[in-house]
Structure 1
Amino acid sequence: MAETHRILYIDNTPDVARLAYEALGGEAGFSVERAGTLAEGLERLKAGRYDAVLISPASLESVTASITPKTAAAPPNEHEKRLWNTLASLLEGCQIIGRDWRYLYINEAAAKHGRRSREELLGRTMPECYPGIEKTEMFSLLKRCMEGRTTHRVENEFVFPDGSSGCFELSIEPVPEGVFILSMDITERKRAEESIRRMNRALRAVSACNQTLVRTFDEQALLDVTCRTLAETAGYRLVWAGFAEENAARSVRPAAYAGNENGYLKNLRVSWDENDGGPVGTAIRTGKPSICRDADGEPKFAAWREETSKLGYRSFAAIPLKSGERMFGALNVYSDHPDAFDDDEIRLLCELADDLAYGIASERTRRAREKTEKALMESEARYRVLFESSAEGILIADAAGKKLVYANPAMRRMLGYTEDEIRQLSVCDIHPEDALPCVLADFDAQSRGEKTT
């Protein structure tokens, strides 16, 4: 009968036999037993003989050690090799830290998570490899696990020496040698979640702004509410709107803002001239969004870097405000995270900027129309005063029907008619019949803009 190899599998997942069988490549000849906790597994080890032990903090991904009844000097058998190969080939990071904080074991995935090679890490302490790590919250959890033999599961953001960061899901388990760490890189997942959160906030902000655009008929109120809603609802660090001035400097004048401004706009000098390569001027000149994804690193933002760094502005988007083909300003949005604006978010901001620009243009058109109507009314009132007070008779007639429309008091006295009676008469009614051919000829000539004698 073929030899059966006993495997002790420490895991709280019910279907361990199938999972372990898959981990070992689907080979027969293995008998898998399960211990629900690490303490139970250690008790079984004291009482029985096992060819190998697999320890999983959460699921199959946490295969951590193999134990054989052979002496330490004995070479590993084929089954042990397969177990360690399985451990080394996992996509999840696996590492064992000794009680003196030295790396006793680390697979390629864990080394990749730390952006170091296995050779750089093995045999060295964590503080030697990552100076300052002992001051982090993650290291505090490792100490609690090491000293108190407690289990921890946590999501950790690790900042690398170059300033970049990655997010990892960690399972930290005490093992006889020290501490076992299972790590899973969740950076992309976190970025996707953050992108969804930003999009949801942006959607709420756009919806609220559109409600304002429908109900508000004051340009300054439109600007103020839009900036405030984006800052408060979408969570942007600073939002401001600026208008392109038609002066010699082609300056951009801030018209409204909301968020963490702290005097930034007071000292800001922005132009939409060709010589200004900043995002705001570029957006106004080109009519396209201009994005600074990393204010600390992009050359085109160098002139403002010192100030923006102090205020926590890490990325920035300038969206043009346009009426037809004419660019008249920009809506400018700052975030406290680098690379904060993806394509979907920029699309939403562009839609909002277009709606805001339409509202501003409509309000300006309405104000211009009201101004023109008021000027016309004032002009009519002035001319009416002149007509009414003139000592000379003035008569106005309709060119097409030759009906009398208006006669000033002097003319009404000359003709002997009241104002209502004048409106009932035509040109023919106030001239002698024998003079009508000449009068009508002159009237027609004047209505065509021709001079008469």
Structure 2
Amino acid sequence: MGSVSRSADKDSYFRSIFEHSFDAILLTVPDGKILAANPAACKMFGRSEEEICSLGRAGIVDHSYPGLKEALVSRNEKGEYRGTIRYLRSDGIFFMGETSSKVFLNEKGEERTSMIIRDITDQIAADHELKRRETLLSLFVAHAPAAIAMFDRNMNYIAVSERFLKDYGIPERNIIGKSHYEVFPELPEAWKEVHKRCLKGAVEKAETEAFMRLDGSVDWINWEIHPWHDYSGEVGGLLLFSEDLTEFINLRNELRSSEQRWRFALEGAGDGVWDWDCITNEVFYSSQWKRMLGFGEEEIEPTLNSWRSVIQSEEDDSFKSLYYDILKGTDLEFSKEHQVRTKQGTLKWILNRGMAFGRAADGAPLRVIGTITDITEMKMAQETLRQNNRMLTNSENRYRTLFETSSEGIFIVEITTGKIKFVNPTICRMLGYGEEELLQSTINGLFHAADWDEVVSEIRDHFDGIKTQSSDLKFRKRDGYTLHMDLTSAKTVIDGTQVLVVFASDITERLVAEEERSQYANRMLSAMIKTVELLSKTVELKDPYTAGLQLRVASLADAIARELGMSDEEAEGIRMAAIVHDLGKMYVPSEILSKPGKLNLLEFNLVKTHAQAGYDILKEVDFPWPIADMVLQHHERMNGTGYPNGVMGAEMNLGARIIAVADVVESMASYRPYRPSLGIEAALAEIDAHSGTLFDPVVVAACKALFKRGYVLAQVE
């Protein structure tokens, strides 16, 4: 009788867990039919249980997801699968689900499958954001208009700009991970000693220094080396900024001319490629394109008719409509599935993707490049799943198997006594206890005695129904170690007794990963800030008379922002923009920048282009602040008389209004080759005289208040 009673109790527990689980739980059969779905699954998919069972697996899974086939094979061969699958909600939105699936036999000996699904969309988004920022930093360094290299403590390359590779004639494009001394074996010992000192925290630089190359030639360069620091404050490596004084390469224009051609070709690697010259009407078909459709190298004519010859006749109108839209300029990008017949007569499904480049006077494209991908197997798998959709009956034992295979730890606690009434194998495995050990324990036995006073109020809130979720509770394992868990709970009544159904998720590894991601993001931001500061020195190489100008303007702009009550983060963004506000001057000839006399109209108009040039350099970099916009607008004026776009008033970015005032004050108070310093009093009088017309009156008032309290322009070496 005791064993029968315990079995009945467990069935009640299983049913309660099924109904109250925060994860989606499905009972299916191996061919894809769904027998039951819990409330969490209905909420996750936006459908009723009846709708989910009617649709079956074919209606809730994204069959184009590459990992689906692998998941089905793994489950069929091993009897279980754990991994990630892409699902479809009722609103048409796809989401990624962490999936645990296991095949079992019911009491009749029939095969059934349990599926437990957790939505991990937010976790994937966080991982993608980190990778995106890491990629952006590498792109920022690679595309910077200066020779920059970043090293670790062993002087191995971490990142390098295209300008660096070009200036120093490095033929091998991929040098990441290689030693600086391997790439430049001719480096003098004196420079290696500089590296050692900088790795201890020193900052060193040299101007117009000779660098003897292996072929006997001499490069004359300026260089500056700064250490960069990791999250702990230790030196993580070096940043090298250098400039070849014999040549300035317009890297930005070169990248623009080549980026579109190669990016798409690289994305299509491994698929068939076709390239249509819309002017000559000739089409290039790659060897892979021909092989995929069963043709030899010389069997395809370089015309669009070769395309039409393999398209099924019922799709010919759709095919012609697609290319007419391209020629009219309606669609620049396209992606369409076609059914084609190979030379051997077999039918295939292909995915045809392409992009149009360039524009003629009538708007038609000059060139269209596309790729084809064989998707025949995917189409066949989708059809098979649709044909195998049948309904099966429920079984009471489904609850037991579902939760014995759950990836979450589950236990049920009697609310009045705190006694643990049920545990699943997962919670036993997590904590290192046997089932009988836990069933003889109370809930306080799951925690360290020293932590119980902290935890007790949290647990009481769950017992009282005040809370249903708790984050990062520290559980005690049998061996004494600590396990970090997230809890969700639901109060219910089983056999007349109030109980709490608790779901425990081990987040220990996730917390470690989040900490590592945070530390890495901080390192990336620190490296980006250091790179921006080094970029500002590009202008000083062109205009030595304004050395330190950008840093003095940045210091004053930062002080004005804080005077206006802006946050530390906002003030830092304005300071960063001010550091590079004149970056575009690197495209202005040095003889104009340092001309001692008054500029003529042509020369002045050339200088005025620097605001737009600086914006063009910085606009693609994903800074946390609108730095490119502030650089673009720092010569605009409140009454619309500024340049380059004549914006006015509130249309101007507040940071740009601050930099505009700081720039004028610094310029008038500092020496220039065409005049001596006019003094700070004259500078303040100038901005006061034009307050409200040229300059923001609130910013002017803040600037004057700073100097009245004794502010002094920063002295920058």
Q: TM-score range by the shorter chain?
A: 0.3 to 0.5
TM-score with structure 2 setting the length: 0.24
Largest Rg, 1 or 2: 1
Larger relative contact order (C-alpha < 8 A, sep ≥ 6)?
2
